[in-house]
Amino acid sequence: MALDFLDFRVLDILDILLVAVLLYYIYKLVKGSAAINIFIGIVIIYLIWKLTQLLQMEMLSSVLGEFIGVGMFALIVVFQQEIRKFLLMIGSTNFSSKNNWFQLKFSNRENKTLNYVDIIVETCKKLGSTQTGALIVIKRNTKLDFVKNTGDTMDIKVNRPIIESIFYKNSTLHDGAIIIEDGRITATRVILPVSNDRDIPLRFGLRHRAAVGISEKTDAVALVVSEETGQISYLKNGEFNIFDDFENLAEQIKMDLS
């Protein structure tokens, strides 16, 4: 008996944890988008249906029941894009922590130099001085395949002339973002999910919103060079990070990547 009880509790906790993870991913995906309103609409219809059942309002309850039944298929159609992104996000997530013993023992991550960060920051400084817009995403743990698929994949070691030429205004590659993974540029012309956060100041346009979006939906960090002002912004966890000088910025990024 006692063992049964224990089994139940363990499964119960696992159940709650899994639901929490699921809700967290759904929240990350629909946060700030129109999908959240559709989701709220569905929840409201579901609650009204349950209420009509409780009050034994047969007609309304059967109409809503039919609607909910067909609704499952409608949901797949309406949320087709979100479901796709959701599955890609789940499939791309690296659940292992970079600090766990397995990684410390078997990966060379902790020995890796992060010199390429200095190159990225130096390049951003240069791009800023010439008011050349840029959007650079640096991968941490979450795999970025779901956004890389929107652009052109490549595999080039980070270096200043390449990044400069990518973002050069007349370059065919300058639109969108570049993705950097372990010191290598792995994708260009990437379209990022745009954040609809209303707290982002109006002076920031789509480039900045896209940087906020990817840093909200994944653990990646992003650098934006504004074409209008030459100003450099650093985004982490959906927030703008202030830095006093470029050395501090490079240090901050290295800390966040290690």
Please give the residue ranges that form the binding site for ligand ATP (CB under 6 A).
133, 135, 175-177, 191-192, 194, 204-208, 210, 226-228
The residue among 64 and 166 lying less far from ligand ATP, judged by its C-beta, is 166
Distance CA 82, CA 182 (A): 28
Which residues are 157's β-sheet partners?
184
Q: Whose Cβ is closer to ligand ATP: residue 134's or residue 253's? A: 134
Residue 175 dihedral angles phi and psi, to the nearest 5°: -75, 145
Distance separating alpha carbons of residues 124 and 131, to the nearest angstrom: 10
- Kindly state the smallest distance separating residue 176's Cβ from ligand ATP, in Å: 4
**126 vs 254, which CB is nearer to ligand ATP?**
126
Distance CA 86, CA 104 (A): 30
The answer to whether 157 and 183 are in contact (CB under 8 A) is: yes
To ligand ATP, the closest distance from the beta carbon of 207 in angstroms equals 3
In the complex, minimum distance from the CB of residue 71 to ligand ATP, in angstroms, rounded to a whole number: 30
Considering the complex, state which of residue 175 and residue 197 has its C-beta at the smaller distance from ligand ATP: 175
Least distance CB 230 / ligand ATP (angstroms): 9
What are the φ/ψ torsions at residue 60 (nearest 5 degrees)? -60, -40
Tokens of residue 167, six digits: 């973002």
Residue nearest ligand ATP by beta-carbon distance: 205
